[in-house]
Structure formats: structure tokens, C-alpha cells
Amino acid sequence: MSESRKLYYTTSHGCPVMDPLASQRIGKHGPLLLQDSAMIDLLAHFDRERIPERVVHANGAGAFGEFELTNPIPDLTDAHFLTQKPGYKVKTLLRFSTVGGERGTSDCARDPRGFALRFYTEEGNCDWVMNNTPVFFIRDPSKFPVFIHTQKRNPQTNLKDATMFWDYLSSNQECINQVMILFSDRGTPDGFRKMDGWSGHTYKFTKRDGSWIYVQWVFKSRQGNHNMTNDQAAVCDPDYATADLFNAIERKDYPQWDAYVQTMTQEQADQFEHSVFDLTKFWPEDRYPPRKIGVLTLNKNPTNYFAEIEQAAFSPSHLVPGIEPSADPVLQSRLFSYPDTHRYRLGANYHQIPVNCPMNGYSPFHRDGAMRVDGNLGSQPNYPSTLFDIKYKTEGSASDPSQEEWSGKATLYQWGSELTDLDYVQANELWNEFGKTPKMQENFVYNVAVHLCNAERSVQEKTFGMFDKVNKLLGSKIRYETTRRGNKNSL
């Protein structure tokens, strides 16, 4: 559209509107006319402005930037953007979020933070859809919807509900590592810039020769890790993190993260005391040292929030040759869930929305559908025509899974629900780790107690038992601090 076209108001079909505030009515005080299609056009579009918000991670903010490859890793993967010369840059988009709150709820809530990163690579979009913690609450994907229900609003009161929150967690104690992190002050980060991002899941790096290695990635903030206390977060401006990110980029104080990968061979994975497919466990850095690959910089705010951030559609299934999902069941389920929700939230042609459109285009076999706005790839054949020169990439990088533990087996197995003493070991290490930072253990106990005191007594008892298993002293401190506050039984 030319600049001169933008200078006057029109209807949505381009007809100039002389006075956008006037409406056609019968006389000075009479009813409106149905023929006033300019006003109807305006109202009808307004009536449809809202689209479904994300079912989780609805509240967030984002920005564009670039990833600079500083240390290529051709020994690990064939991924084009990770194997170029040092200094190679890829455009990126990063969206931060909270998880449980609706759009417009507080940026400062005690909640994990989403860290969804897109690389616009020459081989298509590569999305690393991460959180700010190395672990997650579940290792069994069928628990995700019910787990999320308990962290959202009570179906009757429409209020957040401490009883159902702790009832779920104390009944599914594989969540304990994530609970330890969430109720430390790391659960209330000071904005989006001062926290790290972790893949959490194990993925695979692959090469053309069929070789592969397990990998996790982590982005460490150059702004440091800074958190709020529970009481600071409780009174924080709800838009604090959104404003902090936007304003930093506006004043050219560009936030940066150093990117690393941790790897494990199958032999190392066999010796690891946890399954590499268990998302509730982390890979200790002293045993699996992070290897630096690059630097991420955010340097451009969106020019339109709705177009570029609300409509962004990240998915862990958006990978490029050289990077594959592992057999982690939660990751496997996410490969389905994200594109599925995008088709619902944004429509079948969501990949055409400019922020989602891969820079190398997409297949002419994806045709038609509601709201096709890109010319539908014109006269290109919609089948593999012998008359038209569409090339297939014949050589690719795919892993040889024959050495993997799961290879060849198909069984119905409920691994996620079995708990052993091993499930509490890393949580105990975290508790001891907290002891090295002044007030961190004390704050942890306080943060749990002020929340748990709102739950019903029987659920409190179950939760005390969970913390007892982590550490007896921790369990008794939480019992004492929670009980001392009395049972408030609502939030």
C-alpha cells in the first residue's frame, strides 16, 4: 500500500469515509440505518478483534534479535546454522511468558517463565521452546491437562485455589525438583532479561553418517540471575517485565544470553542414574559440562504486538535437519500439541502470517484453506509434477536409532507414575545448594508456607510429607511455618 493511500480513512473494502464519527440515522434523534455499512463494517470488525489466547503461557512479551554462532559444532550436528564460520548470524524471535495466568495477569506471578526462541534459518524455522528452569513438573504427557487445570482457576469459584494446587503436587511427587525451584526466589524472577533458558528436554543432534548424540541446551543471561522476594513480587506492577524488556531495547541496552549445549552419548546415558527421557531431572553441569556455541542478542522491539507476538506460533516440532526430538514422551506429545493449538488459535494457514513464515518459503502441496492470503503459490503444481522443476533435498541428516534403549519395542507402559527414593535426590541437592546463598532456604520455607496455609488441612499434611522426603529438617520447618499461619482455606 502506498503512503498516500494511508492518509485517509476507508472502510475495510477501501471506500473513503468522509467522517468516521458520523452515523446515518433518520433525523436528528431517529434510529440508525442498516445501510450505514461503514459503521457496521467498523463495529463488525471490532466484534471479532479477540482471538483465543494461548491455553497456557497466555501472558507474555517478546522481541526480535540475532543469534551469533561463536563456536561452530560440526562434530555434533549437521544443522546449517550451527556449522557455519564463527560470526555467522541468524535472525531470531524470542517470546517470554508466565504459564498459568490469562493475558493481562501479572508478569511477576510465582510461575515458571516461558523462553520460546525462533531461529529464522536458511533451512526453515527452528524453534527451541524452553522454560527458565532445567526441569518440569511431569514426565508423563497425559498428566499435562489435569496438572494445568489445578494451576488455573477453580471451576466453581473461578479463583486460584491453593487446595487443588497442592493436592495435585503432593499426589504427583515427581514434580518435586520443579517445586523446589518454583518456591525458591527463582520462582519470581526480576523481569525477563535476568534469567536463563533451558531446553529441559533431551533432543538429539544428528549427522549425515547416521551418528547422533543426546543434547540439551541452555541460555545464560549476561544480565545475571536476579529475582524478587515473594513480597516484592506480590506488590509488583503487573506489566513490570513487559515494560522492562521493551524499555531496555528502546534505550539500546540490548539483553544478551550466552548459548551452550550439554551432550551425552548413549553409553553415558546408560550410566546416568536417571533416564535421559525423564524431564523431571536435570543434567548436573559438573558431569556434563556446557559447551559454548553462541550469543543471543535482542535488539528490536515488535512494531505491532498483536501481529508479531500474539500471532507467533512456536512449536518444538519446528526443527531443522541435524536436530531431532528424543523419545522423551513429554516432548513427543508436545510435537503434536503446538501445531494443533495453532490451527485452532490462528487457523489452518497460520504459517503464512509474516512472523511465522519461514524465510525460504513453504511447500506448494500446502494449498487452499480458510484465509489464504499469499496467492496460494499461483500456478505451481499441487502434486509432485514431472513437468515442473521442484527439487527435493535428497541428502539429509537422520539418526540411526538402532543403539537406543527404546529401539524396536512397543508396549503400554506407565513409567511416569512410579516413584522411587531416587526421585528426591536432586531435590535434596537443591535444598543444600540453597543453603549456600544467604536467606535462600529461609525464603523458600516462607514462600511455601504463605501459599500452603491457604490449602485444606488434609492437603497440607500430604504436602508436609512430600517435603519430609526431600529433607526432614525442611519438612518440619514447612510444617511449623504453615501451621503457625493458621488455615486460611482460600486465596
Residues of each annotated binding site: 338
Q: How many helices (H) and strands (E) does the chain have?
A: 13, 10
- Whole-number Cα distances in Å, 283 to 79, 87, 264, 272, 437: 23, 29, 9, 9, 21
Angle of CA points 105, 111, 116, to nearest 5°: 85
Q: Which residues are annotated as a binding site for heme?
A: 338
| Helices 457-470, 440-452: crossing angle, 10 deg rounding | 160
Q: Taking phi first (over 0 means left), then psi (-120 to 50 degrees means alpha), and beta for anything else, what does residue 408 get?
A: left
Which CB atom, from 178 or from 441, has the smaller least distance to ligand HEM?
A: 178
Of 228 and 330, nearer to ligand HEM (C-beta) is 330
Contact 119, 81 (CB under 8 A): yes
Report, in Å, the least distance between residue 323 CB and ligand HEM.
Answer: 15
Shortest Å, Cβ 332 to ligand HEM: 9
**What angle do the packed helices 457-470 and 425-434 form, to 10 degrees?**
90
Name the residue nearer to ligand HEM (CB basis): 276 or 474.
Answer: 276
Query: What are the start-end ranges of the H helices in 142-300?
Result: 144-151, 162-171, 176-182, 230-234, 240-250, 266-271
In sequence order, what E strands does 355-455 have? none
Rounded least distance, CB 370 to ligand HEM, Å? 18
Min CB(224)–ligand HEM separation in Å? 21
Active site residue 57: yes
**Min separation Cβ 462 and ligand HEM, Å:** 24
319 or 478, CB closer to ligand HEM?
A: 319
DSSP state of 479: H
Give the CA distances from residue 402 to residues 21, 271, 325, in Å, rounded to whole numbers and listed in that order. Answer: 69, 18, 15
SS3 237: coil
Set 59, 125, 131, 454: catalytic member: 131
Q: Mark whether 149 is an active-site residue.
A: no
Give the integer Cα–Cα distance in Å for 258 and 97. Answer: 20
CB nearer to ligand HEM: give 104 or 384. Answer: 104
Separation of alpha carbons 168 and 489, rounded Å: 16
Ranked by CB distance to ligand HEM, the top (closest) residue is 114
The binding site for ligand HEM (CB under 6 A) comprises: 54-57, 60, 95, 97, 114-116, 129-131, 136, 141, 144, 200, 279, 312-314, 330, 333-334, 337-338, 341-342, 345
| Smallest distance from ligand HEM to CB 412, Å | 18
Taking the least distance from each CB to ligand HEM, the nearer of 124 and 339 is: 339
First-residue to last-residue Cα distance in the chain: 52
Distance CA 399, CA 210 (A): 5
DSSP letter, residue 449: H
Catalytic residues: 57, 131
